[in-house]
Amino acid sequence: MKRFFGLFVLTPAEQRVVIVLALLLVLGAWYKHHRDLQNTLPIQPTPGASATPQGTAISKSPPNQDGGHRPRYSPRICRA
């Protein structure tokens, strides 16, 4: 068992390499996260603009026999 744990004993130079690699990994992940945040543009609505043109109304789907609304699609169940 001692021999197995002896595998993880590192010289000071190897310890520095491991520390530098871990720091590079953390910095790379932070940079990617920061870059991804900068590339997203927040949607800013303009004042006075509406999502639907004037004169049109949003229509709802008619209720089914149970009183609920119909789903947009009904997935087919395939049985072999």
Task: Confirm whether 2 is domain-assigned.
Answer: no
Task: Confirm whether 17 is domain-assigned.
Answer: yes
Measure the CA–CA gap between 65 and 68, rounded to whole angstroms: 7
Domain that holds residue 31: 10-39
Measure the CA–CA gap between 62 and 68, rounded to whole angstroms: 9
Task: Confirm whether 71 is domain-assigned.
Answer: no
Measure the CA–CA gap between 42 and 34, rounded to whole angstroms: 15
Task: Confirm whether 54 is domain-assigned.
Answer: no
State if pTM tops 0.75.
no
Residue-by-residue DSSP string for 25-37: HHHHHHHHHHHHH
The number of folded domains in the chain is: 1
Task: Confirm whether 20 is domain-assigned.
Answer: yes
pLDDT tens per residue across span 21-71: 999 999 999 999 999 888 776 677 777 665 555 655 555 555 556 555 555
Dihedral, CA of residue 63, residue 64, residue 70 and residue 73, to nearest 10: -150
Task: Confirm whether 74 is domain-assigned.
Answer: no
Task: Confirm whether 18 is domain-assigned.
Answer: yes
pLDDT tens per residue across span 60-71: 555 556 555 555
